[in-house]
A and B are shown apart, each in its own frame.
Chain A
Amino acid sequence: DTGVSQDPRHKITKRGQNVTFRCDPISEHNRLYWYRQTLGQGPEFLTYFQNEAQLEKSRLLSDRFSAERPKGSFSTLEIQRTEQGDSAMYLCASSLETGQETQYFGPGTRLLVL
């Protein structure tokens, strides 16, 4: 299977702890996106990378959030000092930069902050 993968699939943490999620895109895709989805809602854009460059960050991405894609392959999303409001599904997607921007999604990481 060469789809988008994410790890872990589920994470339970206590308020104030730091968490890190990983996303491995489809191998030939040079664009990688992070979205956040709360229960019963559509995903909301957080940030995206073209190769290793982070080109856009949503205002939803507070200073406690940081994302990296150091070698233009996998990406990590870190949340520092987690808050209960951070509880959500974090989705990763990838695409080719061809002008036909179909994004393919991973299974997501479901975060629960207690």
Chain B
Amino acid sequence: AQTVTQSQPEMSVQEAETVTLSCTYDTSESDYYLFWYKQPPSRQMILVIRQEAYKQQNATENRFSVNFQKAAKSFSLKISDSQLGDAAMYFCAYNSDYKLSFGAGTTVTVRA
């Protein structure tokens, strides 16, 4: 079974600053996908960014980027120029075939 670990229960960032969320995972697979999802309070989960394990290039989506270290099984998310709307719970997730395995989440608060 794959396990996903998010070691930071909470992170706080000043508006316009940068915050990095950590994620590590355990797998024996070589081909898989990694995701970061955002879940605002009382709102639905939305995809932030995805990374295919066979791609060496780190994925980026506007202000969101990842640092994917396959050998270290590490997949961190960097949020640049943080905005108030970025406040949410962020989940790291792993998928090799069908089901997603999620970490426990990191709550991000943005200070105005």
Contact = CB atoms under 8 A, between A and B. Distances in A.
Contacts, number: 52
Given A100-B33, A102-B50, A107-B43, A56 B104 contact: no
Q: Is the interface of B mostly helix, strand, loop or mixed?
A: strand
A58 to B, nearest CB: 8
Nearest to B9: A40
A102 B102 CA distance: 14
A105 interface: yes
26 contacts: A35-B100, A40-B105, A42-B4, A42-B91, A42-B102, A42-B104, A42-B105, A43-B91, A45-B99, A48-B98, A48-B99, A55-B98, A56-B99, A91-B45, A93-B100, A100-B52, A101-B95, A102-B33, A102-B35, A102-B50, A103-B95, A105-B37, A105-B44, A105-B45, A107-B43, A108-B44
Interface of A: 31, 33, 35, 40-45, 48, 55-56, 91, 93, 100-108
